[in-house]
Structure 1
Amino acid sequence: MLTKEQKVQEVEELKKKFSEAKSAILADYKGLNVAEVTELRRRLREQGVEFKVVKNTLAKIATKDMPFNIDEYLEGPTAIAFSYKDPVAAAKLLTEFAKDHKNLELKAAVVEGKAGGKDIVEKLAKMPPREELLAKAVGAIQSPLFGIVWVLQAPLRDLVYTLQAIQEKKAS
């Protein structure tokens, strides 16, 4: 049993986690044994994701003033995976883990201050990782620049080819 002071501290900690996390995935872990939960925590920790079992009432209080509402998903045993770096990492790992462990049920996701149901978790899980998205963005920006450089070099290149052809013609 938590004291009132511990409950206040837990609410403040949850508020901080929700405001700092890029994404938070809510899951029902009922039916998972200790070894399975430990394995899940280890996998998540390797990706920089924190997995925390929460009391639904305290989570409701913590998110009361947030721009999203997750009250409808706070039923039964609830654990939340907070991802601080990559918003997709937690969704990918939990979805993958849930395929092998049918007792893990994904409930909802909070991403960038917006909450959604299980469908949001599935969409997040299908997204490419952050690094891949950044690489694609850089490639998209870089590609036109190379085209511009190529076009700007064309007249100079043509002049060099023409002078080379004239020199070869005079030499023969």
Structure 2
Amino acid sequence: MLKARKSEIIEVLRAKADRAGIAVVTDFKGLTAEELTDLRVKLRAAGVDYQVVKNTLARKAVQGGTHEALAVHFKENCAVAFGYDDPVAAAKVLVDYAKTSKKFAIRLASLSGKIIDEQGVKNLSTLPGKPELLATLLGTMNAVPTNFVGLFANMIRGLLYALNGVKEKKEAA
């Protein structure tokens, strides 16, 4: 491979790694091209890039970046999944695929620069995703003013009933 081509690959990997919130190193040894394509399609739908990398190029690409701690773990056949928006979505797809494929394995990941092992990635996949968390937050934020309005409406309604009762008593007398 030409040196210019190698430096181009390193720069592309560096750009992806710097943009990514999570980088997951996986072992794909024994998977067929069709199985890898199937995995890539599932990951792409979740907004995740999956790339088979040469170990030396990957080590150079992550040096000095957020996921620098991964550099020592690029050994043997490996590929990296870069998740940009939602780290939980990347973890969910990879863990689900690892459950269905005996040849595919998750080695470890770097979540915003902190190394997490395979069990940590599995635990991350059980968390609700970003859309679910935002929906919960918005529901909570909406409940406070709704309850506040309901509380004051009940107070005013009670006052209205009391005044109406006084009016009816005076009319009857």
The match for 1:27 is 26
The match for 1:137 is 137
The match for 1:115 is 115
> 1:48-74 CA distances to partner (integer Å, 9 max, x unpaired)?
221111111111111110244013321
TM-score (norm. length: structure 1): 0.89
> 1:21-56 CA distances to partner (integer Å, 9 max, x unpaired)?
222211011011111111111111122221111111
- Correspondence 1:64 to 2:66: no
The match for 1:42 is 41
The whole-number CA distance in structure 1 between the counterparts of 2:86 and 2:171 is 64
| CA displacement at 1:166 relative to structure 2 | 3.0
Structure 2 counterparts to residues 1-172 of structure 1, below 5 A? 2-67=1-66, 68-170=68-170
The whole-number CA distance in structure 2 between the counterparts of 1:141 and 1:37 is 42
**SS of the residue 1:65 aligns to:** coil
| CA displacement at 1:170 relative to structure 2 | 5.0
**SS of the residue 2:80 aligns to:** strand
The 8 Å contact of residues 59 and 72 in structure 2, kept in 1 or not, is answered as no
The whole-number CA distance in structure 2 between the counterparts of 1:86 and 1:171 is 67
> 1:101-153 CA distances to partner (integer Å, 9 max, x unpaired)?
01101011122232322122112211112111111122233333333333334
Matched pairs, number: 171
| The 10-residue stretch of structure 1 (82-91 or 157-166) with the greater mean CA deviation from structure 2 | 157-166
Residue segments in structure 1 that go unaligned for 5+ positions in a row: none
The whole-number CA distance in structure 2 between the counterparts of 1:102 and 1:26 is 16
**SS of the residue 1:144 aligns to:** helix
The sequence identity of aligned pairs, in percent, is 36
| The 10-residue stretch of structure 1 (77-86 or 65-74) with the greater mean CA deviation from structure 2 | 65-74
Residue segments in structure 2 that go unaligned for 5+ positions in a row: none
TM-score (norm. length: structure 2): 0.88
Kindly provide the amino acid, as one letter, of the partner of residue 70 in structure 1. L
The whole-number CA distance in structure 1 between the counterparts of 2:119 and 2:169 is 71
| CA displacement at 1:171 relative to structure 2 | 5.8
